């Protein structure tokens, strides 16, 4: 499917990873880049350093250097002059930009009477529904994530439990750090990077973003959340399992059963045309039916304190969010389904898979067991 652009879109990147830029141009760079898309016409301004690579990568657009626009190199980090010269050459006086477009550049363009409108939603809404090639790219990285998860599951399965309840492997206490090392070595072999892998044992998982540290204990939930990015394609994958070594504390066992049931029901509810709210409330209801309430006290939340999922693509978090909105799922959405429960006394339990939405329900991108 050819994806069409309908208005002038301006992108400015100062060296960060920008998913819209990569989507539209196929190009990413550590140096500043300015891109202009008018309908399907694409122009890109890159530094002299990037020119050679950009002309090879950008298939359907014009690549320019500041010199070609009659400019000398700008001071570091300031590409307002590139943007201004590019718009002047193209005869464009009105552009749409992303929410995160740099204020410095917007101010400068506006001083030159160029109208800069922030897009109300995503700058490239066409990114949401994935093409077959994109589904393939996400499947590739999701398989790498599952492979790494299985490595972690294997290590925890092989571990022994000492008299004090600590896990031991290869003659040493098994720590979150060592498990993360195994995961990351596995991901490297798949040409993926995962800068923020979570291995949170004991009660650490009660904070859903705690990366985790120190010795792992039997009976407590070990939240392992792997979200790698493939270095070649730039697409992300996302999977979470909550593993328990030995006999779980009774409360932990109940939490795990509730979350597994909620994930199953939420996955069953997913289908093109269904509202994201329906999926989210499905998970909420099951967790409540299992007796788990969500509360906020003194700024701390406990229970099911996040949305049920998010889109995955060139950004790890993108549209649609599976929350209380009225948005409907569409064929071609790739989303995570990841209910969880978080209690300071017991830790966290989260179970997450990334799936493709189809007219009939979901299609798994990669399968992974739920337990060790």
Least distance (Å) between residue 31 CB and its own copies:
7
Least distance (Å) between residue 39 CB and its own copies:
23
Say how far apart CA 46 and CA 65 lie, in whole Å: 5
Place of tokens 């120190």: 214
If phi over 0 gives left and psi between -120 and 50 gives alpha, with beta otherwise, what is residue 319? beta
Q: Residue 90 or residue 188: which is nearer to its own copies going by CB?
A: 188
Q: How far is CA 29 from CA 18, 74, 80, 112, in A?
A: 9, 17, 17, 27
Task: Check: CB of residue 145 under 8 Å from CB of residue 366.
Answer: yes
Helix (H) or strand (E) segment spanning residue 310: strand 310-311
Least distance (Å) between residue 196 CB and its own copies:
7
Q: Residue 106 or residue 138: which is nearer to its own copies going by CB?
A: 106
Task: Check: CB of residue 44 under 8 Å from CB of residue 33.
Answer: yes
Least distance (Å) between residue 38 CB and its own copies:
20
Least distance (Å) between residue 164 CB and its own copies:
26
Q: Residue 101 or residue 256: which is nearer to its own copies going by CB?
A: 101
Say how far apart CA 230 and CA 188 lie, in whole Å: 9
Least distance (Å) between residue 256 CB and its own copies:
20
Picking from 59, 50, 101, the residue whose alpha carbon sits closest to that of residue 80 is 101
Sheet strands side by side (includes 160-161): 160-161, 167-169, 172-173
Least distance (Å) between residue 151 CB and its own copies:
14
List 242's β-bridge partners, or say none.
Answer: 223
Q: Residue 160 or residue 196: which is nearer to its own copies going by CB?
A: 196
Pairing of strands 167-169, 295-297: unpaired
List residues binding its own copies (CB under 8 A).
14-16, 29-31, 48-53, 55, 63-65, 67-68, 75-78, 97, 99-107, 116, 118, 181, 184-185, 188-189, 193, 195-196, 206-210, 231, 296, 299-301, 305-306, 316-317, 321, 323, 325
Q: Residue 116 or residue 274: which is nearer to its own copies going by CB?
A: 116
Least distance (Å) between residue 162 CB and its own copies:
26
Say how far apart CA 307 and CA 116 lie, in whole Å: 32
Residues whose CB falls within 8 Å of the CB of residue 229, separated by 6 or more in sequence, listed in order: 141, 192, 193, 194, 235, 236, 316
Q: How many residues does the chain have?
A: 372
Q: Residue 151 or residue 206: which is nearer to its own copies going by CB?
A: 206
Residues whose CB falls within 8 Å of the CB of residue 100, separated by 6 or more in sequence, listed in order: none
Q: Residue 102 or residue 237: which is nearer to its own copies going by CB?
A: 102
Q: Residue 30 or residue 250: which is nearer to its own copies going by CB?
A: 30
């Amino acid at each position: 499917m050819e994806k069409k652009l309908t208005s002038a879109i301006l992108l400015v990147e100062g060296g960060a990873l920008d998913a819209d830029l990569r989507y539209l141009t196929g190009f990413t760079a550590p140096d500043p880049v300015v891109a202009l898309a008018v309908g399907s016409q694409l122009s890109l301004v890159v530094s002299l350093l990037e020119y050679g690579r950009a002309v090879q990568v950008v298939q359907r657009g014009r690549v320019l250097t500041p010199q070609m626009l009659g400019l000398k190199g700008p001071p570091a980090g300031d590409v307002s002059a590139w943007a201004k010269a590019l718009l002047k050459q193209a005869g464009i006086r009105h552009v749409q930009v992303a929410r995160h477009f740099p204020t410095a550049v917007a101010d400068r363009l506006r001083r030159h009477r160029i109208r800069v409108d922030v897009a109300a939603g995503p700058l490239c809404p066409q990114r949401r529904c994935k093409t077959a090639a994109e589904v393939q790219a996400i499947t590739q990285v999701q398989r790498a994530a599952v492979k790494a998860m299985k490595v972690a599951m294997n290590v925890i399965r092989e571990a022994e439990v000492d008299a004090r309840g600590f896990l031991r492997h290869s003659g040493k206490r098994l720590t979150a750090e060592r498990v993360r090392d195994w995961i990351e070595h596995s991901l490297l072999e798949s040409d993926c990077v995962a800068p923020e892998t979570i291995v949170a044992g004991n009660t650490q998982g009660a904070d859903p973003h705690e990366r985790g540290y120190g010795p792992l204990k039997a009976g407590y939930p070990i939240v392992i959340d792997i979200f790698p990015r493939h270095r070649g394609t730039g697409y992300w994958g996302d999977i979470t399992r909550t593993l328990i070594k030995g006999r779980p504390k009774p409360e932990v066992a109940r939490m795990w059963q509730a979350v597994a049931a909620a994930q199953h029901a939420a996955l069953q509810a997913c289908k093109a045309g269904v509202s994201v709210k329906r999926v989210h409330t499905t998970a909420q209801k099951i967790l409540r039916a299992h007796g788990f309430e969500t509360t906020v006290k003194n700024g701390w939340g406990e229970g099911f304190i996040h949305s049920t999922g998010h889109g995955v693509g060139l950004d790890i978090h993108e549209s649609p969010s599976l929350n209380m909105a009225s948005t409907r799922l569409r064929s071609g959405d790739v989303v995570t389904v990841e209910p969880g429960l978080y209690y300071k006394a017991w830790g966290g339990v989260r179970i997450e898979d990334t799936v493709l939405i189809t007219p009939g329900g979901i299609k798994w991108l990669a399968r992974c067991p739920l337990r060790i």
